Amino acid sequence: MSKIVNEVILANREYQASFTKGDLAMPPARHFAILTCMDARLDPAKYAGLSEGDAHVIRNAGGRASDDAIRSLVISYKLLGTKEWFVIHHTNCGMETFTDEIMRNLLASSLKTASIDENGWHDCCEGGGSHEAKHISWLTISDLAQSVVEDVERIRHHPLVPTSIPVYGYIYDVTTGGLIEVPEATRIGRAS
């Protein structure tokens, strides 16, 4: 086993030893969901004041309103009763550092981990890549506030999303820990 696997298993044993939340209900107690980025610097439980069982947190690269994220939000509402949704992107997001074309070229060149420097992204080596990346929309971000607006708008106008659910748009500042509202997104996401 790797060092990481051992650390996770040991941490879980400690968690399990004092675990007391086995009777939580499946629906989130506070009836809301958050769509946010997978970035390790974000702790939605802390920045949104959550405990286990409070809310659904859906995470992906960039916190984007992909088909799968919308699928999760619809399940959250339809089967588990959430009544409000937040889209929360963040400053200094890795999704701002590349484009679909850059990602496609990197993956066509190699499947090894790339690196970045002042001249941009680089592969460590050639060979073993795949052109399958051209079939994926990577949902990169060129304008942070605009990406929040676009995602709230996509959710708001999705045919499976009831207009009664308000969708709020925010940016989490990784340097201060604060949430900054994107007023245009929240306006678009208003319930009717």
pLDDT digits (tens, 9 = 90+) for 49-108: 999 999 999 999 999 999 999 999 999 999 999 999 999 999 999 999 999 999 999 999
Torsion of CA 5, 9, 14, 15, to 10 degrees: 100
Give the integer Cα–Cα distance in Å for 176 and 86. Answer: 19
178 pLDDT tier (thresholds 50, 70, 90): very high
**Model-level pTM?**
0.94
38 pLDDT tier (thresholds 50, 70, 90): very high
152-156: which pairs have CB atoms within 8 A and are 24 or more residues apart? 152/65, 152/87, 152/182, 152/185, 152/186, 152/188, 152/189, 153/185, 153/188, 153/189, 154/65, 154/70, 155/35, 155/65, 155/70, 155/73, 155/85, 155/87, 155/189, 156/188, 156/189
Q: Which of 99-108, 120-129, 179-188 has the lowest mean pLDDT?
A: 120-129
pLDDT digits (tens, 9 = 90+) for 13-27: 999 999 999 999 999
Supply the pLDDT for residue 124: 83
Q: Report if residue 145 sits inside a domain.
A: yes
Give the integer Cα–Cα distance in Å for 35 and 74. Answer: 12
Residues 89 and 37 in one domain: yes
Contacts of 101 (CB under 8 A, 6+ apart): none
pLDDT value at 127 more than 90: no
Where in the sequence is the domain holding 123, given as residue range(s)? 99-137
The domain tally of the chain equals 2
Give the integer Cα–Cα distance in Å for 143 and 139. Answer: 12
Residues 73 and 43 in one domain: yes
Q: Report if residue 15 sits inside a domain.
A: no
Residues 148 and 188 in one domain: yes
Of residues 192, 163, 167, the one with CA closest to residue 182: 167
pLDDT value at 152 more than 90: yes
Residues 124 and 166 in one domain: no
Residues 77 and 151 in one domain: yes
Q: Report if residue 19 sits inside a domain.
A: no
Residues 39 and 91 in one domain: yes
Supply the pLDDT for residue 115: 93
